[in-house]
Chains A and B, each alone.
Chain A
Amino acid sequence: QLQVQESGPGLVKPSEILSLTCSVSGASISSYYWNWIRQPPGKGHEWIGSISNRGSTNYNPSLKSRVTISADTSKNQFSLKMISMTAADTAVYYCARAVRRWLPTGTSGGYYSYMDVWGKGTTVTVSS
């Protein structure tokens, strides 16, 4: 059964770098798309970015200048690095798998993506 698990520091100082890792078991990261999402306290979800099975990345433009997502296929892990952390980055950070599949919907069908397996999330607080 597929499981994903976030790990990393719970506390980061302002201006420092956040590094999180998502460990994947039950599936190879050489398949599917792998995502980072965050949820600030009491707020909605913000998609941070993703890395594909081919290693191509896609980032939220609002965070793109500060974020790097990478993968280590030998460890079956992918990682998030976010620089210049501020209090506004305090949030629960989730990793999740995204599936992209063709479905026979409508008149001709099409490709659809959805995030079907999520980690439990890791709380990151930015504070001195």
Chain B
Amino acid sequence: DIQMTQSPSSLSASVGDRVTIACRASQTISMCLNWYQQKPGKAPNLLIYAASSLQSGVPSRFSGSGSGTDFTLTISSLQPEDFATYYCQQSNSTLYTFGQGTKVEIK
């Protein structure tokens, strides 16, 4: 299995802050990396696919970068509705695996 490791596991930030979340794969996955946002009691919501492509309808303050084994999700200016947990997921292998999540909390 390809292991996905996110860091940090949680962070506290204020509205307007720039936030960066890292995701590392245990082996190279090209750009086969997706990012999801999940709020309590809700299903995951796709933000970024193929490492850097913004899903339709997602605000442009979200961006993704990286390739190979190291990836980053950036929120350029944190908004109140962005407080949630973020997950990376690899699709390079037919066995999809997810990171353990990064919880973004209000400072």
Contacts and interface: CB of A to CB of B under 8 A. Distances in A.
A115 B95 contact: no
Interface stretch (B18-26, B72-80, B97-105): B97-105
B98 to A, nearest CB: 4
Interface in B44-85: 44-46, 49-53, 55, 67
- Majority SS at the chain B contact face: loop
A112 to B, nearest CB: 4
Contacts of B30: 106, 110
Contacts of B95: 47, 60-61
Interface residues of A, number: 24
A107 B95 CA distance: 26
Given A44-B98, A60-B95, A61-B95, A120 B43 contact: yes
Contact of B100 (A44, A103, A120, A121): A44
Interface of A: 35, 44-47, 58, 60-61, 94, 96, 98, 103, 105-106, 110, 112-116, 118-121
29 contacts: A35-B96, A44-B99, A44-B101, A45-B87, A46-B98, A47-B97, A47-B98, A58-B94, A60-B95, A94-B43, A94-B44, A105-B50, A105-B51, A105-B52, A106-B30, A106-B31, A110-B30, A110-B31, A112-B31, A112-B32, A112-B91, A114-B34, A114-B49, A115-B34, A116-B46, A116-B55, A118-B44, A119-B43, A121-B43
